[in-house]
Amino acid sequence: MFQYPLATGQGYPRDTLLKMCEEVPTIRAIKDWCGNVPQHEMHIRALQSLPRPVNVLSTHSAWLFSSLVLGCNGLLSGSGSVIADLQSALFQAVKNNDLAEARRINDRIYPLAKVFYAEPWADMHNRMKEALVLLGRLPRAVVRPPLVKISRAEIDRIRAALVEAGMLSEKAARDAA
């Protein structure tokens, strides 16, 4: 199941979620993008403690550290196309209750989350594609209408975030510029 923010009119209220999980035995997890910390915590507590537990998988990539600390059993993240190794390490550190290591990893993720999930949100995947180009993983960042290619200034911010995260060396950043 995919949980959207309630304010969109596409999210499921708590009682509906619980009824669906109770009555549909094939529901094993929800991809939680409710966008609301107290509601997200309620999902984790209520769904993962059902007689037939339903895993809560976070897609709150802009605040993944906080989401995982609440107790999600996994994550599904668009930025995983760029930082899957960091996300996996963060998940493991949180699961191992190694908060110091989790904070260290989150400090690397933070500049990227900040740049990827900046307004307008509609450009988040365009930004990730540009990051993949800068890292040499994609030959070019193809954008389909109605979206448009992001600006050179924004690409420069992505480059700086990759350097800050330790994913791109200063020299490689200068060479790519």
Q: Which of 65, 70, 76 is nearest to 29 (CA)?
A: 76
The answer to the question of residue 31 being in a domain is yes
Task: Write the pLDDT tens digit of every residue in 119-163.
Answer: 998 999 999 999 999 999 999 999 999 999 999 999 999 999 999
Residue 175: per-residue pLDDT: 76
Q: How far apart are CA 53 and CA 60, in angstroms?
A: 21
The answer to the question of residue 92 being in a domain is no
Query: Quick one: which H or E segment has residue 58?
Result: strand 55-58
Q: Dig out the tokens for 84 from the structure.
A: 């899957």
Q: Is there a contact between 65 and 37 (Cβ–Cβ < 8 Å)?
A: no
The answer to the question of residue 175 being in a domain is no
- Give the torsion through C-alpha atoms of 133, 177, 153, 121, to 10 deg: 10
The answer to the question of residue 61 being in a domain is yes
Domains in the chain, number: 1
Residue 172: per-residue pLDDT: 76
Q: Dig out the tokens for 43 from the structure.
A: 């999902």
Residue 174: per-residue pLDDT: 75
The answer to the question of residue 110 being in a domain is no
Q: What is the DSSP letter of 32?
A: E
Task: Write the pLDDT tens digit of every residue in 50-109.
Answer: 999 999 999 999 999 999 999 999 999 999 999 999 999 999 999 999 999 999 999 999
Supply the range of the domain harboring residue 57: 1-76
The answer to the question of residue 173 being in a domain is no
Task: Write the pLDDT tens digit of every residue in 1-40.
Answer: 999 999 999 999 999 999 999 999 999 999 999 999 999 9
The answer to the question of residue 56 being in a domain is yes
